[in-house]
């Protein structure tokens, strides 16, 4: 068939042909629109506005994703705006490390004449992940107890091991049950301070308060990898307001067996001026736990320190001077309308920093203050050192609480700031 020589028939345009003809208008329309766009761009460029058009059209750079904090979880920072207009001291921020057992890493306050001041001794947040790395000096979370304010549980302070397992863990006995816990270093028979130090939170939730913010973290701690007799759920709550940080820890026995439990806190509280010699310390007790200075373990007895250089019970406190401290004070005396109140007074900055236990199971305050350091650690704890040791009649006499299945231990402490010689509420 000779298709090349075939004549073309003359036909009326079909519907399809008419549709195609309509499409022919698209090209001149697009050309016209492009011309208008070019004219607008030229006008805007002449008036210095082309960069504004590009900003609206071009996507910006990607949002920077900050590296996770220690323990692989982002730090949580509570903050609030100052309201006293420079007339009073007030808290403005609190930073927590959910990846490291909710360590209260830093507190800052606005202090008249001094601006925003850190109240806890800790490194820069950017360098914390390098220190809290789970290795060497931080094995088992040990470095958490050297900065900020570590939360200590299922015991506070230290335990002594009576034996060592084949895995290198220290061991002791409770109610015919064997408890296992890590040593503070490879050659020591003393434990680290608790099992929450390097544990990450399973959930974290923050909220807004009328005068600040709050955060709640939940740890499904289980039986701490088989080291404790029953499973436990731990909840840490913190509320930041102008003058207070309220810290609450609740431990619930979610298992089927009784479990021994203790809770404490190890904050490194700064003396803001750095003038330790003239800072004053107030401790609501004249009794302290006696310690064998050779072994570092308690003897099981209490000593009366009234009238000695370790007596800080008088009204207004006593100067720290050149007295090194590492004492556990017991028989705490409650203040008027509140729990026992321990205070650091810094005359150079005209401020008072108070630690107030608010639950009755907090039986002692561990006070540490090296003579060459501008800080004091005031640790409110439920239990004394080595509570499973033979020096005590039983663990409960040393402050350990036996939690029955379903029972909850609640621990609450208030950290407070105020000016010396003034009533803060009058300034609000």
Rg of the chain in Å (alpha carbons): 32
DSSP single-letter state for residue 320: -
State yes or no: pLDDT of 12 exceeds 90.
no
Question: Which of 266, 261, 238, 228 lies closest to 143, judged by CA?
Answer: 266
- Position 35 scores a pLDDT of 53
Question: Which of 177, 163, 190, 151 lies closest to 230, judged by CA?
Answer: 177
**Which comes out higher in pLDDT, residue 370 or 19?**
370
d(CA 283, CA 332): 8
- Position 54 scores a pLDDT of 35
φ, ψ of residue 140 in degrees (nearest 5) = 65, 20
**Mean pLDDT computed over 398-408:** 97
State yes or no: pLDDT of 177 exceeds 80.
yes
d(CA 57, CA 54): 5
State yes or no: pLDDT of 135 exceeds 80.
yes
State yes or no: pLDDT of 302 exceeds 80.
yes
d(CA 38, CA 295): 86
- Position 366 scores a pLDDT of 98
3-state SS assignment for residue 39: helix
d(CA 154, CA 263): 6
Token representation of residue 218: 């939940």
- pLDDT-based confidence at residue 39 (cuts at 50, 70, 90): low
- Position 224 scores a pLDDT of 93
Q: How many CA atoms, within 13 angstroms, populate the side-chain half-sphere of residue 131?
A: 15
Cβ neighbour number for residue 162 with a 10 Å cutoff: 15
d(CA 135, CA 142): 9
**Mean pLDDT computed over 361-372:** 97
Token representation of residue 216: 């709640």
Report CA torsion sign: 176, 177, 183, 186.
Answer: positive
Question: Which of 391, 396, 260, 282 lies closest to 329, judged by CA?
Answer: 282
- pLDDT-based confidence at residue 19 (cuts at 50, 70, 90): very low
- pLDDT-based confidence at residue 67 (cuts at 50, 70, 90): low
d(CA 365, CA 369): 13
Question: Which of 154, 158, 380 lies closest to 269, judged by CA?
Answer: 380
**Mean pLDDT computed over 339-350:** 96
Domain 71-427 in this protein, CATH class: mainly beta
- pLDDT-based confidence at residue 422 (cuts at 50, 70, 90): low
DSSP single-letter state for residue 33: H
| The Cα angle at residue 238 between residues 235 and 241, in degrees rounded to 5 | 165
- Position 428 scores a pLDDT of 37
Share of the chain above pLDDT 70, in %: 82
d(CA 407, CA 405): 6
CATH 2.70.98.10 maps onto the chain at: 71-427
Lowest mean pLDDT among 136-140, 214-218, 244-248, 287-291: 136-140
d(CA 283, CA 342): 5
């Amino acid at each position: 068939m000779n298709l090349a020589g075939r004549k073309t028939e003359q036909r009326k345009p079909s519907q399809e042909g008419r549709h195609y003809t309509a499409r022919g208008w698209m090209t001149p329309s697009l050309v016209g629109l492009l011309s208008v766009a070019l004219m607008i761009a030229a006008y805007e460029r002449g008036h210095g506005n082309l960069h504004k058009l590009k900003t609206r059209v071009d996507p910006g750079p990607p949002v920077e994703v900050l590296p996770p904090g220690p323990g692989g979880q982002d730090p949580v920072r509570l903050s609030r705006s100052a309201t006293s207009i420079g007339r009073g001291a007030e808290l403005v921020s609190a930073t927590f490390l959910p990846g490291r057992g909710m360590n209260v890493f830093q507190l800052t306050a606005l202090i008249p004449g001094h601006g925003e001041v850190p109240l806890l001794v800790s490194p820069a947040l950017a360098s914390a992940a390098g220190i809290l790395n789970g290795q060497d000096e931080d094995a088992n979370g040990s470095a958490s107890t050297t900065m900020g304010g570590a939360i200590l549980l299922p015991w506070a302070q230290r335990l002594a091991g009576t034996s060592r397992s084949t895995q290198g863990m220290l061991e002791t006995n409770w109610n015919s049950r064997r408890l296992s816990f890590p040593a503070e270093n490879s050659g020591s028979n003393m434990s680290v301070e608790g099992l929450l130090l390097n544990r990450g939170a399973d959930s974290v939730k923050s909220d807004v308060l009328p005068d600040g913010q709050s955060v709640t973290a939940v740890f499904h701690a289980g039986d701490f990898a088989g080291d404790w007799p029953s499973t436990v759920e731990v909840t840490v709550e913190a509320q930041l307001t102008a003058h207070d940080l309220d810290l609450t820890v609740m431990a619930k026995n979610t298992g089927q067996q009784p479990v021994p439990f203790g809770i404490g806190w190890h904050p490194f509280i700064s003396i803001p001026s750095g003038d330790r010699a003239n800072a004053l310390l107030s401790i609501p007790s004249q009794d302290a736990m006696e310690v064998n200075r050779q072994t570092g373990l308690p003897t099981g007895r209490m000593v009366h320190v009234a009238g000695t250089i370790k007596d800080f019970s008088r009204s207004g406190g006593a100067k720290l001077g050149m007295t090194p401290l590492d004492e556990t004070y017991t028989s705490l005396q409650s203040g008027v309308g509140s729990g026992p109140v321990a205070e650091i007074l810094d005359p150079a900055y005209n401020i008072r920093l108070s630690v107030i236990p608010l639950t009755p199971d907090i039986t002692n305050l561990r006070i540490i203050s090296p003579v060459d350091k501008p800080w004091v650690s005031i640790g409110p704890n439920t239990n004394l050192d080595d509570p499973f040791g033979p020096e005590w009649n039983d663990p409960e006499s040393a402050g350990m609480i036996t939690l029955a299945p379903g029972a909850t231990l609640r621990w609450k402490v208030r950290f407070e700031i105020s000016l010396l010689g003034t009533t803060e509420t009058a300034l609000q």
